[in-house]
Amino acid sequence: MRVSSLEAFLVSAGTISIAEIGDRTQLLSLLLAARYRRPWPIIAGILCATLANHAAAGFIGSLFGNFMKPRALKLVVGVSMIGMALWTLKPDKLDADATAARAAGAFVATLTSFFLAEIGDKTQIATVALAAAYPSLWAVISGTTLGMLGANVPVVLLGKAFANRLPLKSIHYAASLLFLILGGIFLARVVVG
């Protein structure tokens, strides 16, 4: 069965946008918006940092995808998605180091702090898994980047008023369920062949 680039894009965008809600980088967006009060440089920093981070993660994922047999790859991606489901249930907290670039402008502070905050984050690991699962690397990277922007841009533009109105616990459960369903789909593909 051939997987379309559109499916890779939509699954990547949807998965990351939901998983990102309440994540530490979303908290970082809120902090940066409150500190600098300049949304466009912050949004540009988020875009550049996410593209760089997810391109690296996607490249690593596609390498895994190219070297693993399809059945083993589906098994690894399925298990990793179920692991992501469990990880999503644990709320993130913002590290004190995440805003270390205080003296820099809004763009540089956002670029560096976002890039560093994403290293080892669940959205980066999900990007590795998605890039391993789907043959269209550009669709995965553009989808995960759009998902990241979809979750963080409203926080930057609307600030704390927006963030305080979200039912974060319900969103974490929904994101966990989404990862669980995706994991189940990949595991079902292993069983079906």
pLDDT greater at residue 2 or residue 73: 73
> Nearest-CA neighbor of 117 among 69, 190, 45, 13?
45
Cα dihedral 29, 30, 35, 37 sign = positive
| Residue 161: domain span | 5-192
Tokens of 179: 């990862």
The total number of structural domains that make up the chain: 1
User: Whose structure tokens read 């980088």?
Assistant: 25
Residues 16-58 have pLDDT tens digits of 998 887 777 887 888 788 778 789 999 999 999 999 999 999 9
Q: How far apart are the first and last CA of the chain?
A: 10
Residues 92-130 have pLDDT tens digits of 555 544 444 444 588 998 998 888 888 878 888 889 989
pTM: 0.72
